[in-house]
Amino acid sequence: MKEALFYKKIEGNKVTCLLCRHHCNIENGKRGICNVRENREGILYTLVYGFPCSYHVDPIEKKPLFHFFPGSKAFSIATVGCNFKCLHCQNYEISQISEENKKIFGQTLDPEDAIDLALKSHCNSISYTYTEPTVFYEYAFDMAKIAKDRGLYNNFVTNGYIEDEPLRYIRPYLDAANIDLKGFNKDFYRRQCKAELNGVLEAIKLYKSLGIWIEITTLIIPGYNDDEREIKGIADFIKNEIGIETPWHVTAFYPTYKLLDAKRTPAKTLNKAREIGLESGLRYVYEGNIPGSEGEHTYCYNCKKAVIKRFGFSILEYNLKDGACIFCNTKIDGIGL
Protein backbone atom coordinates (compact mmCIF):
# COMPACT_ATOMS: atom_id res chain seq x y z
CA MET A 1 0.00 0.00 0.00
CA LYS A 2 0.99 3.62 -0.47
CA GLU A 3 -0.28 6.68 1.34
CA ALA A 4 -2.69 8.57 -0.86
CA LEU A 5 -2.30 12.13 -2.04
CA PHE A 6 -4.92 14.84 -1.62
CA TYR A 7 -6.81 14.16 1.57
CA LYS A 8 -7.22 15.81 4.95
CA LYS A 9 -7.63 14.36 8.42
CA ILE A 10 -10.72 15.18 10.41
CA GLU A 11 -11.84 14.44 13.95
CA GLY A 12 -12.23 10.86 15.10
CA ASN A 13 -9.71 9.22 12.78
CA LYS A 14 -11.85 10.17 9.79
CA VAL A 15 -10.49 11.60 6.55
CA THR A 16 -11.88 13.58 3.64
CA CYS A 17 -10.57 12.53 0.23
CA LEU A 18 -9.94 15.54 -2.02
CA LEU A 19 -8.84 13.69 -5.15
CA CYS A 20 -12.16 13.80 -6.97
CA ARG A 21 -15.30 15.91 -6.69
CA HIS A 22 -17.17 13.43 -4.47
CA HIS A 23 -15.10 14.56 -1.44
CA CYS A 24 -15.79 11.28 0.37
CA ASN A 25 -15.78 11.46 4.17
CA ILE A 26 -14.26 8.10 5.10
CA GLU A 27 -14.43 6.53 8.53
CA ASN A 28 -11.63 4.43 9.96
CA GLY A 29 -11.52 1.04 8.23
CA LYS A 30 -13.78 2.18 5.37
CA ARG A 31 -13.24 3.06 1.72
CA GLY A 32 -14.40 5.85 -0.54
CA ILE A 33 -16.90 5.46 -3.36
CA CYS A 34 -14.12 4.20 -5.65
CA ASN A 35 -13.47 1.24 -3.30
CA VAL A 36 -9.70 1.52 -3.79
CA ARG A 37 -8.81 4.21 -1.23
CA GLU A 38 -9.03 3.14 2.41
CA ASN A 39 -8.73 4.93 5.72
CA ARG A 40 -6.53 3.10 8.21
CA GLU A 41 -6.19 4.85 11.57
CA GLY A 42 -6.60 8.29 10.04
CA ILE A 43 -4.24 7.72 7.08
CA LEU A 44 -5.70 7.32 3.60
CA TYR A 45 -4.06 4.65 1.48
CA THR A 46 -4.32 3.74 -2.17
CA LEU A 47 -4.80 -0.02 -2.49
CA VAL A 48 -3.89 -0.28 -6.18
CA TYR A 49 -0.47 1.34 -6.48
CA GLY A 50 1.71 -0.75 -8.81
CA PHE A 51 -1.05 -3.34 -9.13
CA PRO A 52 -2.73 -3.04 -12.56
CA CYS A 53 -5.58 -5.32 -13.54
CA SER A 54 -4.96 -4.82 -17.25
CA TYR A 55 -2.35 -3.50 -19.65
CA HIS A 56 -2.17 -3.76 -23.42
CA VAL A 57 -0.76 -2.04 -26.48
CA ASP A 58 -3.58 -0.25 -28.33
CA PRO A 59 -3.89 2.02 -31.34
CA ILE A 60 -4.35 5.56 -30.07
CA GLU A 61 -7.59 5.68 -32.10
CA LYS A 62 -9.13 3.20 -29.65
CA LYS A 63 -9.11 5.73 -26.80
CA PRO A 64 -10.52 7.47 -28.93
CA LEU A 65 -7.94 10.20 -29.61
CA PHE A 66 -8.02 11.10 -33.31
CA HIS A 67 -5.94 14.27 -33.18
CA PHE A 68 -3.13 13.08 -30.91
CA PHE A 69 -0.37 11.36 -32.88
CA PRO A 70 -2.81 9.50 -35.16
CA GLY A 71 -1.65 6.05 -36.16
CA SER A 72 0.61 5.69 -33.11
CA LYS A 73 0.54 3.02 -30.40
CA ALA A 74 -0.38 3.64 -26.76
CA PHE A 75 0.61 1.48 -23.81
CA SER A 76 -2.76 1.27 -22.06
CA ILE A 77 -2.96 0.50 -18.36
CA ALA A 78 -5.58 0.37 -15.62
CA THR A 79 -6.21 -0.77 -12.07
CA VAL A 80 -9.56 -1.85 -10.68
CA GLY A 81 -12.00 0.73 -9.38
CA CYS A 82 -13.96 3.78 -10.45
CA ASN A 83 -15.52 6.82 -8.79
CA PHE A 84 -18.64 6.55 -10.97
CA LYS A 85 -21.34 3.89 -10.73
CA CYS A 86 -22.57 3.97 -14.31
CA LEU A 87 -25.40 1.53 -14.96
CA HIS A 88 -24.19 1.20 -18.56
CA CYS A 89 -20.48 0.71 -17.81
CA GLN A 90 -18.80 -1.23 -20.61
CA ASN A 91 -15.83 -2.24 -18.44
CA TYR A 92 -17.81 -3.09 -15.31
CA GLU A 93 -15.86 -6.32 -14.67
CA ILE A 94 -12.84 -4.25 -13.64
CA SER A 95 -14.31 -0.85 -12.76
CA GLN A 96 -17.08 -1.91 -10.40
CA ILE A 97 -15.61 -3.70 -7.40
CA SER A 98 -18.05 -6.02 -5.62
CA GLU A 99 -19.56 -4.35 -2.57
CA GLU A 100 -19.67 -7.74 -0.88
CA ASN A 101 -16.01 -8.80 -0.91
CA LYS A 102 -14.35 -5.59 -2.21
CA LYS A 103 -11.55 -7.70 -3.66
CA ILE A 104 -8.62 -5.87 -5.24
CA PHE A 105 -7.18 -7.93 -8.09
CA GLY A 106 -4.33 -7.47 -10.54
CA GLN A 107 -0.63 -8.16 -10.82
CA THR A 108 2.47 -6.36 -9.65
CA LEU A 109 4.03 -3.93 -12.10
CA ASP A 110 6.22 -1.07 -10.91
CA PRO A 111 6.04 2.25 -12.80
CA GLU A 112 9.59 1.81 -14.17
CA ASP A 113 8.77 -1.67 -15.49
CA ALA A 114 5.61 -0.40 -17.16
CA ILE A 115 7.59 2.26 -19.02
CA ASP A 116 10.14 -0.35 -20.07
CA LEU A 117 7.32 -2.43 -21.57
CA ALA A 118 5.93 0.61 -23.38
CA LEU A 119 9.30 1.42 -24.92
CA LYS A 120 9.94 -2.18 -25.93
CA SER A 121 6.54 -2.17 -27.65
CA HIS A 122 7.47 1.01 -29.59
CA CYS A 123 4.64 3.01 -28.05
CA ASN A 124 4.45 6.76 -28.38
CA SER A 125 2.41 7.36 -25.25
CA ILE A 126 1.04 5.92 -22.04
CA SER A 127 -2.74 5.84 -21.83
CA TYR A 128 -4.34 5.64 -18.40
CA THR A 129 -7.61 4.08 -19.42
CA TYR A 130 -10.18 1.23 -19.24
CA THR A 131 -11.34 2.20 -15.71
CA GLU A 132 -10.83 5.70 -14.26
CA PRO A 133 -7.28 7.06 -13.97
CA THR A 134 -8.26 9.42 -11.16
CA VAL A 135 -8.68 6.51 -8.73
CA PHE A 136 -5.15 5.22 -9.42
CA TYR A 137 -3.76 8.74 -9.49
CA GLU A 138 -0.56 8.10 -7.48
CA TYR A 139 0.42 5.21 -9.74
CA ALA A 140 -0.41 7.20 -12.88
CA PHE A 141 1.44 10.25 -11.59
CA ASP A 142 4.69 8.38 -10.91
CA MET A 143 4.45 6.58 -14.22
CA ALA A 144 3.75 9.80 -16.12
CA LYS A 145 6.84 11.48 -14.67
CA ILE A 146 9.08 8.60 -15.74
CA ALA A 147 7.41 8.45 -19.14
CA LYS A 148 8.02 12.14 -19.77
CA ASP A 149 11.68 11.81 -18.75
CA ARG A 150 12.08 8.95 -21.23
CA GLY A 151 10.48 10.68 -24.18
CA LEU A 152 6.94 9.35 -23.97
CA TYR A 153 3.66 11.28 -23.90
CA ASN A 154 0.80 10.74 -21.45
CA ASN A 155 -2.96 10.76 -21.86
CA PHE A 156 -6.01 10.15 -19.67
CA VAL A 157 -9.25 8.51 -20.76
CA THR A 158 -11.48 9.83 -18.03
CA ASN A 159 -14.94 10.64 -16.73
CA GLY A 160 -13.74 14.15 -15.90
CA TYR A 161 -14.46 14.15 -12.16
CA ILE A 162 -10.95 14.94 -10.89
CA GLU A 163 -10.59 17.88 -8.51
CA ASP A 164 -8.75 21.05 -9.54
CA GLU A 165 -5.60 20.67 -7.41
CA PRO A 166 -4.73 17.10 -8.51
CA LEU A 167 -5.24 18.05 -12.16
CA ARG A 168 -2.98 21.07 -11.82
CA TYR A 169 -0.39 18.92 -10.06
CA ILE A 170 -0.15 16.36 -12.87
CA ARG A 171 -0.39 18.96 -15.63
CA PRO A 172 3.40 19.12 -16.38
CA TYR A 173 3.28 15.45 -17.40
CA LEU A 174 -0.19 15.13 -18.94
CA ASP A 175 -0.43 15.92 -22.65
CA ALA A 176 -3.94 14.89 -23.66
CA ALA A 177 -7.25 13.51 -22.43
CA ASN A 178 -10.39 12.05 -23.84
CA ILE A 179 -13.15 13.10 -21.46
CA ASP A 180 -16.59 11.52 -21.29
CA LEU A 181 -19.42 14.01 -21.33
CA LYS A 182 -22.10 11.40 -20.81
CA GLY A 183 -25.08 13.67 -21.22
CA PHE A 184 -26.24 17.20 -20.63
CA ASN A 185 -28.87 16.54 -18.01
CA LYS A 186 -28.33 16.69 -14.25
CA ASP A 187 -30.85 13.96 -13.54
CA PHE A 188 -29.20 11.62 -16.06
CA TYR A 189 -25.86 12.00 -14.30
CA ARG A 190 -27.38 11.47 -10.87
CA ARG A 191 -29.44 8.42 -11.86
CA GLN A 192 -27.10 6.70 -14.29
CA CYS A 193 -23.64 7.64 -12.93
CA LYS A 194 -24.17 8.74 -9.30
CA ALA A 195 -22.33 12.00 -10.03
CA GLU A 196 -23.00 15.66 -10.76
CA LEU A 197 -22.96 17.11 -14.27
CA ASN A 198 -21.61 20.50 -13.15
CA GLY A 199 -18.48 18.90 -11.70
CA VAL A 200 -17.69 17.32 -15.06
CA LEU A 201 -18.27 20.59 -16.92
CA GLU A 202 -15.98 22.49 -14.57
CA ALA A 203 -13.22 19.89 -14.93
CA ILE A 204 -13.46 19.96 -18.72
CA LYS A 205 -13.02 23.73 -18.71
CA LEU A 206 -10.01 23.40 -16.41
CA TYR A 207 -8.38 20.81 -18.69
CA LYS A 208 -8.76 23.29 -21.53
CA SER A 209 -7.45 26.27 -19.58
CA LEU A 210 -4.35 24.28 -18.55
CA GLY A 211 -3.45 23.69 -22.18
CA ILE A 212 -4.06 19.93 -22.19
CA TRP A 213 -5.27 18.67 -25.58
CA ILE A 214 -8.79 17.32 -25.07
CA GLU A 215 -11.32 15.36 -27.06
CA ILE A 216 -14.88 14.75 -25.85
CA THR A 217 -16.86 11.50 -26.08
CA THR A 218 -20.61 11.07 -25.64
CA LEU A 219 -22.14 7.59 -25.64
CA ILE A 220 -25.62 8.05 -27.12
CA ILE A 221 -28.16 5.84 -25.33
CA PRO A 222 -31.63 5.59 -26.93
CA GLY A 223 -34.31 6.86 -24.60
CA TYR A 224 -31.83 8.22 -22.05
CA ASN A 225 -29.64 10.96 -23.53
CA ASP A 226 -30.54 11.03 -27.24
CA ASP A 227 -32.88 14.03 -27.11
CA GLU A 228 -31.80 16.38 -29.89
CA ARG A 229 -32.01 19.43 -27.61
CA GLU A 230 -29.63 17.77 -25.19
CA ILE A 231 -27.25 16.82 -27.99
CA LYS A 232 -27.39 20.42 -29.21
CA GLY A 233 -26.61 21.54 -25.66
CA ILE A 234 -23.43 19.48 -25.62
CA ALA A 235 -22.39 20.83 -29.02
CA ASP A 236 -22.96 24.41 -27.87
CA PHE A 237 -21.06 23.81 -24.63
CA ILE A 238 -18.06 22.50 -26.57
CA LYS A 239 -18.22 25.41 -29.01
CA ASN A 240 -18.72 28.19 -26.47
CA GLU A 241 -16.76 26.92 -23.46
CA ILE A 242 -13.95 24.82 -24.95
CA GLY A 243 -13.50 25.73 -28.60
CA ILE A 244 -14.61 24.69 -32.07
CA GLU A 245 -11.28 22.92 -32.58
CA THR A 246 -12.20 20.32 -29.92
CA PRO A 247 -13.04 16.94 -31.49
CA TRP A 248 -16.34 15.40 -30.39
CA HIS A 249 -16.95 11.64 -30.62
CA VAL A 250 -20.58 10.50 -30.58
CA THR A 251 -20.56 6.75 -30.10
CA ALA A 252 -23.01 3.88 -30.26
CA PHE A 253 -24.34 2.16 -27.14
CA TYR A 254 -24.99 -1.56 -26.78
CA PRO A 255 -26.92 -3.05 -23.82
CA THR A 256 -24.61 -4.06 -20.99
CA TYR A 257 -24.22 -4.36 -17.21
CA LYS A 258 -27.34 -2.98 -15.49
CA LEU A 259 -28.78 -1.10 -18.46
CA LEU A 260 -30.21 -3.90 -20.54
CA ASP A 261 -33.56 -2.35 -21.35
CA ALA A 262 -32.17 0.27 -23.75
CA LYS A 263 -31.75 -0.56 -27.42
CA ARG A 264 -28.58 -0.38 -29.47
CA THR A 265 -27.97 3.06 -30.93
CA PRO A 266 -29.21 3.26 -34.54
CA ALA A 267 -26.73 4.60 -37.08
CA LYS A 268 -29.21 7.32 -38.00
CA THR A 269 -29.08 8.66 -34.43
CA LEU A 270 -25.30 9.08 -34.63
CA ASN A 271 -25.64 10.60 -38.09
CA LYS A 272 -28.04 13.19 -36.67
CA ALA A 273 -25.83 13.92 -33.64
CA ARG A 274 -22.85 14.45 -35.91
CA GLU A 275 -24.92 16.72 -38.13
CA ILE A 276 -25.99 18.77 -35.10
CA GLY A 277 -22.38 19.14 -33.99
CA LEU A 278 -21.17 20.28 -37.39
CA GLU A 279 -24.09 22.66 -37.86
CA SER A 280 -23.27 24.15 -34.46
CA GLY A 281 -19.84 25.08 -35.79
CA LEU A 282 -17.60 22.30 -34.48
CA ARG A 283 -14.76 21.43 -36.83
CA TYR A 284 -14.48 17.72 -36.09
CA VAL A 285 -17.33 15.41 -35.11
CA TYR A 286 -16.92 11.64 -35.26
CA GLU A 287 -19.19 8.61 -35.15
CA GLY A 288 -17.86 5.74 -33.05
CA ASN A 289 -18.58 2.01 -32.68
CA ILE A 290 -19.92 1.79 -36.24
CA PRO A 291 -16.93 0.74 -38.42
CA GLY A 292 -17.24 1.85 -42.02
CA SER A 293 -19.12 5.06 -41.28
CA GLU A 294 -18.06 8.22 -43.08
CA GLY A 295 -18.10 9.79 -39.64
CA GLU A 296 -14.87 7.95 -38.80
CA HIS A 297 -12.82 10.16 -41.13
CA THR A 298 -11.13 13.47 -40.37
CA TYR A 299 -12.17 16.17 -42.82
CA CYS A 300 -10.47 19.47 -43.49
CA TYR A 301 -12.84 22.10 -42.14
CA ASN A 302 -11.84 24.45 -44.95
CA CYS A 303 -11.99 22.42 -48.17
CA LYS A 304 -14.08 19.55 -46.69
CA LYS A 305 -11.85 16.83 -48.14
CA ALA A 306 -10.87 13.77 -46.10
CA VAL A 307 -7.39 14.22 -44.66
CA ILE A 308 -7.42 11.01 -42.58
CA LYS A 309 -9.51 8.04 -43.68
CA ARG A 310 -10.18 5.32 -41.10
CA PHE A 311 -11.87 1.98 -40.73
CA GLY A 312 -12.36 1.11 -37.10
CA PHE A 313 -9.03 1.78 -35.40
CA SER A 314 -6.98 1.56 -38.61
CA ILE A 315 -5.81 4.45 -40.77
CA LEU A 316 -6.36 3.79 -44.47
CA GLU A 317 -5.29 7.12 -45.95
CA TYR A 318 -3.27 10.05 -44.61
CA ASN A 319 -3.48 13.34 -46.48
CA LEU A 320 -1.59 15.62 -44.12
CA LYS A 321 1.85 17.16 -44.43
CA ASP A 322 3.38 18.87 -41.42
CA GLY A 323 -0.07 18.91 -39.85
CA ALA A 324 -1.73 20.66 -42.79
CA CYS A 325 -4.22 19.51 -45.40
CA ILE A 326 -2.37 18.58 -48.60
CA PHE A 327 -5.28 19.87 -50.70
CA CYS A 328 -5.57 23.44 -49.37
CA ASN A 329 -2.75 23.78 -46.80
CA THR A 330 -5.14 24.46 -43.90
CA LYS A 331 -3.65 23.58 -40.51
CA ILE A 332 -5.57 20.75 -38.81
CA ASP A 333 -5.90 21.09 -35.05
CA GLY A 334 -4.17 18.60 -32.77
CA ILE A 335 -0.81 17.30 -31.54
CA GLY A 336 1.57 15.21 -33.59
CA LEU A 337 -0.38 15.32 -36.83
HEC sequence for the chain = CEECCCEEEECCCEEEECCECCCCEECCCCECCCCCEEEECCEEEECCCCCCCEEEEEEHHHCCCCCECCCCEEEEEECCCCCCCCCCCCCHHHHCCCCCCCCCCCCCCCHHHHHHHHHHCCCCEEEECCCCHHHHHHHHHHHHHHHHHCCCEEEEEECCCECHHHHHHHHHHCCEEEEECCCCCHHHHHHHHCCCHHHHHHHHHHHHHCCCEEEEEEEECCCCCCCHHHHHHHHHHHHHHHCCCCCEEEEECCCECCECCCCCCCHHHHHHHHHHHHHCCCCCEEEECCCCCHHHCEECCCCCCEEEEEECCEEEEECEECCEECCCCCECCCECC
* pTM given for the model: 0.97
Fold held by 54-294: TIM Barrel (3.20.20)
Determine the Cα–Cα distance for residues 127 and 215; give it in Å rounded to an integer: 14
What CA–CA distance (Å, rounded) separates 55 from 76? 5
pLDDT per residue, tens digit, the chain (337 aa), is 899 999 999 999 999 999 999 999 999 999 999 999 999 999 999 999 999 999 999 999 999 999 999 999 999 999 999 999 999 999 999 999 877 778 999 999 999 999 999 999 999 999 999 999 999 999 999 999 999 999 999 999 999 999 999 999 999 999 999 999 999 999 999 999 999 999 999 999 999 999 999 999 999 999 999 999 999 999 999 999 999 999 999 999 999 999 999 999 999 999 999 999 999 999 999 999 998 999 999 999 999 999 999 999 999 999 999 999 999 999 999 999 9
Domains of the chain, by residue range, sit at 2-46, 54-294, 297-337
Contact 316, 291 (CB under 8 A): no
Instruction: Point out which residues pair with 37 in neighbouring strands.
Output: 46
Angle between helices 137-149 and 111-120 (to 10 degrees): 50
Q: How many CB atoms lie within 10 A of CB 142?
A: 19
How far is Cα 244 from Cα 136, in angstroms, rounded to an integer?
A: 31
Smallest CA-to-CA distance from 276 within 315, 326, 329, 218 is with 218
